[in-house]
Each structure stands twice: as C-alpha cells, then as structure tokens.
Chains A and B, each alone.
Chain A
Amino acid sequence: MASPPQTPQTPTDNPAATRSRASITARTLRTDRWWVPPLLTTLGLAAFVIYATVRSFMRTGYYDAEQHYLTPFYSPCLSDSCVAGSAHFGTPIGELPGFIPLAFLSLPFLLGFRLTCYYYRKAYYRSIWFSPPACAVAEPHAKYTGETRLPLIVQNAHRYFFYAAFVIALINTYDAILAFGGENGVGFGLGNVVLLVNVVLLWAYTLSCHSCRHVTGGRMKHFSKNPVRYWIWTQVSRLNVRHMQFAWITLATLALTDLYVWLVSTDVITDLRFIN
C-alpha cells in the first residue's frame, strides 16, 4: 500500500530538524535502584544455565528405577546409553558419546523456545545486553539495529520452537503418567506430585506463549466468525498475562524436579510414598 503523499520538508519548514535535545549529560537521572532487577535476572538465568548444563551432561541420577521417575532433563531418552527403563520410546539411536546430552533431541528446542520467548527476550536484552538496562537508562551501544537483521531476525521463528515445545510437553506428561506405575505396580508418592506439578506448570508456560496466543486466534480479524477459536484465544490470553511468572516458576520447578529425581535415584533421600 502506498503512503499518502508527503510534502518534502526543508530544515526551515521543520524546526525540529535544526533543534537539539536538552543538554543533559547524565546517563540517567533515575534515583531508584534501577540496576537491581537486571542484576537479579542475570543471577537467576546464570544459576539455571549452570545447573542445567552440568546436569544435562552428568548422565547419572536421572532415572529412579524403583518408582520410574524420569527427570525432564533426560526426556526423551532414545539411545542405548540410557539406563534400563528410562527409554520410554525405545532406543532407536545407538550409543552416544559423552559430549552429547542424552536428551539431545529435546534440549536444543527447549533452549530455542526460551531464547526466542518474548518474555526472555525482554529479560536478557535488558539484563545481559543492556539494551537498555532499564527504562530511561542509556544503553552503552553506539549502534542499534534491533531485530531487523541476522542473527536477531531469527527471533521470528519463535512459533516453531513453540510447536516443538508443545510436543515435548506431551512427552513430559507421558513420563509423569508412567511414573504412577513403579516396580511394585501402581503407586503414588511425593515424586509423582513433583513431576505432576512440574508438568502442569510447563503446560501453563507453553500455552501462555505469545505465539500460541497468535496461532490459536490472535491472527484473526473476525472473532465473531470463529467463536471456538475466540474462546481458546481468551483462555490463552488469560494465561498470557502471567507468562513472565510462568517463565520463572518453570525454571525453578524444572531444576527442583530434576534435583528431587537426582536425590531419590541416588538414595540420598527416600521418596515419601502415599500409596504403595
């Protein structure tokens, strides 16, 4: 579509072209502790990345054979390197060298889902790239092109990572259901609660995604012609308001779920059983 015709402006026509900004040299005049949120964000993200990286390569303590608890960091386990029972979908892949995580099929997509997530983008653009570090605080970069070119233009692929994350959430759900049947038959313990809560929150994070909001109904112009999709969109929108909270909560629950399975499977603690 063509823009309406514009009258070319000379500097004389347009005083703004010749005027300059107020001469204020301070980077910011904010007096509050604006640096606290980016600092906490960096610490929170760093803690999770370090923990998740270490655990993904450890290859121990990821499956409790007695209660059939499988940590989400190793799901799906599809290779001959997986311990007996942990491969819920068989072992179509042979032995994997130690530098490849056993969940190599899911981890890159989960990482991509979070890296391209609209909330995490805000979080790391602010806290790690300082672009900007906080509102009305000058960024340190001389040039800024945003997400207009490579590599950041790839952020537009978020929806594909959402589709992958959706499938992985289904797999995690399946893992959590299988955990109700341990070595001694059907049972229910604290580990089941942990796995279940983790899966519910993963669904909340995945379904509250902005891309999910778009593909379920946001892309439509006429909600009235698609009442079912409109209803889904309203439900996703209600979740979407809390996307940031779900983003942080699921980082915590993922780590805690993994830690619980690690501790139970290595007999550091005993799983609290309610039934069988």
Chain B
Amino acid sequence: MGYQAKLRVWRGDDGSGDLQDFTVEANEGEVVLDLIHRLQATQVPDLAVRWNCKAGKCGSCSAEVNGRPRLLCMTRMSIFSEDETITVTPMRTFPVIRDLVTDVSYNYTKAREIPSFTPPEDLKPGEYRMQQVDVQRSQEFRKCIECFLCQDTCHVIRDHEENKTAFAGPRYLMRIAELEMHPLDVADRRNEAQTDHGLGYCNITKCCTEVCPENIHITDNALIPMKERVADRRYDPIVWLGNKLFRRNGG
C-alpha cells in the first residue's frame, strides 16, 4: 500500500540553501532514492542528485538521511514510520555544488598522494605469483566502492575542515594498509602513513566502519593494524633494537 511520505530535502548551492518540505508518494519496497526521483519527476525537475546503479555498487548516491551518512539507493523506506519526516541532505564534509550533489574532489586529491603499488624491481608484469592466504587481507579492502561515506562521517575532517590538508581519511588510510599488507609490495609505507597521511589523527571511533555499505571492517582490519605497524616503525624501542641487532630492514 502506498502512502504520502513527508520529505525534507536540502536545496541550494554553495552560496545559500535551506531545508524544504515536500510530500511524495511512497510505495512498498521503495528506497529513498525512488522518492527523490519521484520528487524530481513530479514537483522539482531541477533537483540535483547524483546517482547511477541503484544497486549499492557504484557509490554515487551518497547523502545523509536523517543525519546519517547513507547510500540513497540502499536506504529502504520501510525503516521509517509513515508519519516520520525524512530529512535528506548532502554530505556535510564536502563542498556542495547544488542540492544533494557535493564536490568530492578532496578524495581524488588524497588518492593521488598515495604512492602506487610497488612490486620488486626484478619482477615483471605477468610474473606476479602470490598465495591466496597472503593476499586475502588486502582483498577485503578492494570491496570499497568509493562512496566516500566513511570520509563524510569521519569527525577529523567533518568537524575540522582545517585537517583536510594533513589527513587522508579512512578510505585512503585503508588504501595504504592494503598496499602495506600486499605480499608483493616492497615499499615501506609506515612512516609516511603517520607523517604525510595523518594516521595519528584517527582516534578509532569506528564511525567509518559503521557507515560502510560494503561492511568492510575499516577500523579493525585496516586502521588499527596500520597503527600497530606504525608503532613498530616509529614508537617501539624493542623492535628498533631488534632491527639494529639482527640487521633487519625496518622489520
């Protein structure tokens, strides 16, 4: 059975904007993105919303629903009561372009700052051989669809714009962890994770993990192991002594 859902949508651009109320038909089995599309089709044709796959795999329709970072296409209407007003706003951490569309170029800037996969010099493409057991930790992080909800919810940059230069955010710290754990990557990324990409800013409050639509254990499997590796490299005197005594290359 359909009903008239109450929607409050942020409309505006980087100059100004406000929350506007609408009533939109909602039918059984629909998601918030369906209502946004119906709103666009029937009442406000100039409403800007970014979307693509409608299946939670492209990471385009990231926004905030009732204040929580979510994919619009994966937020079922059935989780709300029929008399509830559903507030839809753009991701708060990024500059707004228009309505629900934000400028996420910060993330691409941070992606470019991470040195790419570095195989051993004598290993040619086509010669890569690795055991599944060695590479499976990194594979979890490859599930990332780059929706940037983790970046959006991370208070380090959400509440402190000034930290954006020093902090890469959970998505890209996870990328560093992915490469650091990769069996064929020979670069030592531990020092730079702390100094250049701001791992120390992370206080592991796990919001990135909570909002991840791919259920990647970002904090437990990427950020904390990376913090421990950084501790090996920078803060552990016994590891340092062991490396010196046994002539190990940084552990």
Contacts and interface: CB of A to CB of B under 8 A. Distances in A.
Interface stretch (A107-115, A145-153, A171-179, A193-201): A145-153
A219 B105 CA distance: 33
B28 interface: no
A210 B223 CA distance: 11
Interface stretch (B9-17, B35-43, B52-60): B9-17
Contact of A146 (B95, B156, B251): B156
Contacts of B115: 1-4
Given A3-B113, A22-B12, A118 B204 contact: yes
Contact of A30 (B68, B204, B235, B236): B68
Contacts, number: 182
A124 to B, nearest CB: 10
B14 A132 contact: no
Contact of A144 (B17, B118, B156, B181): B156
A102 B159 CA distance: 45
A210 B106 contact: no
Contact of A211 (B84, B196, B228): B228
Interface stretch (A54-62, A135-143, A250-258, A261-269): A135-143
Interface in A211-229: 211, 213-214, 218-219, 221-224
Contact of B200 (A131, A147, A211): A147
Interface string B107-134: 0010011111010000000000001011
A11 interface: no
Interface residues of A, number: 59
Contacts of A16: 94-95, 103, 105-106
B203 A146 contact: yes
B16 A221 contact: no
B134 A1 contact: no
A216 to B, nearest CB: 11
22 contacts: A1-B189, A3-B196, A6-B113, A16-B95, A21-B14, A21-B92, A21-B93, A22-B92, A23-B17, A24-B10, A24-B19, A31-B67, A31-B87, A125-B203, A135-B68, A135-B69, A138-B159, A148-B201, A157-B235, A159-B231, A223-B133, A223-B134
